[in-house]
């Protein structure tokens, strides 16, 4: 097997941006339609700071790498590299797991939320990631990871 790369999810970026715009509009409309005083505007400003902070985080961590076409997850015959949890815009693999060091892989799909793929290492430590911002079908990503894992277990 060769190298398999997964990019950032364009659809998830649009959804997150849409949710933030919708929340901003809802708060603004609620503020305008009532008899607002300075306390209401202070509350609106506090909410807007939270929304702007979240928008900045999503933009720097996910949107800009997505627009640049960067890789979120890379699988090769020796290891798995997760770039999605890297520091700011640097494409430094934050999580690198060698197949020989992994003892078990689990797929957890919570009732609400994105699936989690977790790895139990031979030394007992555990790490995982959500497939929320990775382009592709969650189950297919897991199955591909399992193919690489099983290939190295033989």
* Residue in the structure block whose two tokens are 């999503």: 58
Q: Residue 87: its pLDDT value, please?
A: 52
User: pLDDT (tens digit, 9 = 90+) per residue, 80-137?
Assistant: 988 876 455 444 456 788 888 889 999 988 888 788 898 888 888 888 888 888 898 8
Task: State pTM to two decimals.
Answer: 0.76
Same domain? 33 vs 58:
yes
Who has greater pLDDT, 59 or 92?
A: 59
Instruction: Report how far residue 20's alpha carbon sits from residue 142's, in angstroms, rounded to the nearest whole number.
Output: 29
Structural domain of residue 98, as residue ranges? 73-153
CATH number at residue 92: 2.30.29.30
Q: pLDDT band at 26, cuts 50/70/90?
A: confident
**Mean pLDDT, rounded, for 59-80:** 86
Same domain? 89 vs 115:
yes
Q: H/E element holding 125?
A: none
Who has greater pLDDT, 46 or 87?
A: 46
Instruction: Report how far residue 82's alpha carbon sits from residue 98's, in angstroms, rounded to the nearest whole number.
Output: 12
Instruction: Report how far residue 99's alpha carbon sits from residue 40's, in angstroms, rounded to the nearest whole number.
Output: 55
Same domain? 78 vs 33:
no
Token output for 48: 């807007």
Query: In sequence order, what are the residues at sequence separation of 6 or more whose Cβ sits closer than 8 angstroms to the Cβ of residue 83?
Result: 65, 70, 71, 72, 73, 74, 91, 92, 93, 94
**Burial class, 130, CB count within 10 angstroms (exposed 0-12 / middle 13-18 / buried 19+):** middle
Who has greater pLDDT, 154 or 140?
A: 140
Residue 47 predicted with pLDDT over 50: yes
Looking at 20, 41, 67, which one is the last position of a domain? Answer: 67
């Amino acid at each position: 097997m060769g190298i398999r790369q997964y990019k950032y999810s364009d659809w998830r970026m649009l959804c997150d941006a849409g949710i933030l715009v919708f929340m901003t509009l809802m708060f603004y409309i609620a503020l305008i339609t009532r008899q607002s005083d300075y306390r209401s505007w202070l509350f609106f400003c506090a909410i807007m700071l939270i929304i702007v902070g979240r928008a900045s985080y999503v933009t720097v961590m996910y949107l800009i790498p997505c627009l640049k076409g960067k890789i979120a997850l890379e699988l090769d015959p020796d290891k798995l590299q997760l770039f999605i949890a890297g520091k700011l815009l640097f494409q430094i693999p934050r999580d690198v797991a060698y197949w020989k060091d992994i003892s078990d892989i689990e797929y957890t799909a919570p009732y609400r939320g994105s699936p989690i793929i977790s790895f139990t290492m031979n030394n007992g430590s555990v790490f995982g990631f959500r497939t929320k911002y990775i382009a592709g079908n969650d189950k297919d990503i897991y199955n591909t990871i399992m193919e690489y894992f099983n290939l190295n277990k033989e």
